[in-house]
Structure 1
């Protein structure tokens, strides 16, 4: 009997490189729902909890969130929000209370889902060393190669092929 796993009903909004991957400018990418950093923090905390535990501090560019408060409370725990003029644009540095920090590429909430998903997937590849500018440039060779790969996969599937990821099938089988 083939085991099936349940796929999430929502698209991923945060993808991170696998644990221990220390390559590239960013450790992953985040596509928030809005431009309101304070209201987005609970979702970011939920997504990063397995990696960082509780978030203690977030450094961001004031150009992207000029009206963010200096702190928020998430589940009764304070999180310091530090806006800097010289923080790299389109990035966040998120520090857990355990001291571990991750650099996250910020994708505009207005980005199309195709563009956002391509950026999320490329930024989360273990050996990706793209710059922030390359990841956010829709004409970058890295994103174009990724999108060509997705188009080829979709073509293959439309002609009757199926990938295990798209069907939700796990390749392991259970003996009855």
Structure 2
């Protein structure tokens, strides 16, 4: 009997997310996310999987409707329904707003997917107050 060797499955791409350090002071931006595309149905599950457990279940996500691809009003992510909202009147169009009932709201700056790494990485560090890179 012969056994065919199959190449290993490619690993999913790493999440490009940097969160601001926790502090007692309120922040306008809680972190920076650098998605690989503007396809929210692909990118959102990766983002939610990488968030701190302390943030709880994110039940609602608001994105800039002019930037992101068309999405349904809600989607199932890890067996939980997440409501998707598109806004063209967001105060900061390059952000995504995450809401978790009884836990809070988090605003993430979105770095455009086609941004070169040598531009995106310093931007992410500056936005989160991390001067180590």
Q: Which category of TM-score, normalised to the shorter sequence, fits these structures?
A: 0.7 to 0.9
The aligned counterpart of 1:106 is 110
For 1:51 and 1:120, locate their aligned partners in 2 and report how far apart those are by CA, in whole Å. 22
Unmatched 5+ residue regions in structure 2?
1-12
* Selected match of 2:36 from 33, 36, 59: 33
The aligned counterpart of 2:84 is 81
The aligned counterpart of 2:73 is 70
- 1:26 aligned counterpart, secondary structure: coil
For 2:53 and 2:84, locate their aligned partners in 1 and report how far apart those are by CA, in whole Å. 20
| Aligned-pair CA distance for 1:96 | 1.8
| Aligned-pair CA distance for 1:97 | 3.4
Report if aligned partners of 1:62, 1:85 keep a CA contact under 8 Å in 2: yes
Report if aligned partners of 1:37, 1:65 keep a CA contact under 8 Å in 2: yes
For 1:90 and 1:38, locate their aligned partners in 2 and report how far apart those are by CA, in whole Å. 18
1:59 aligns with 2:62: yes
Instruction: Report the count of equivalent residues.
Output: 120
- TM-score when scaled to structure 1? 0.61
- TM-score when scaled to structure 2? 0.79
| Aligned-pair CA distance for 1:68 | 1.9
Superposed, 1:86-97 pairs within 5 Å as 86-87=89-90, 88-97=92-101
The aligned counterpart of 1:115 is 119
| Aligned-pair CA distance for 1:11 | 6.3
More helix by share: 1
Larger Rg: 1
- 1:19 aligned counterpart, secondary structure: coil
Provide the alpha-carbon RMSD of the alignment: 2.2
Unmatched 5+ residue regions in structure 1?
1-9, 127-145, 151-176
Report if aligned partners of 1:90, 1:107 keep a CA contact under 8 Å in 2: yes
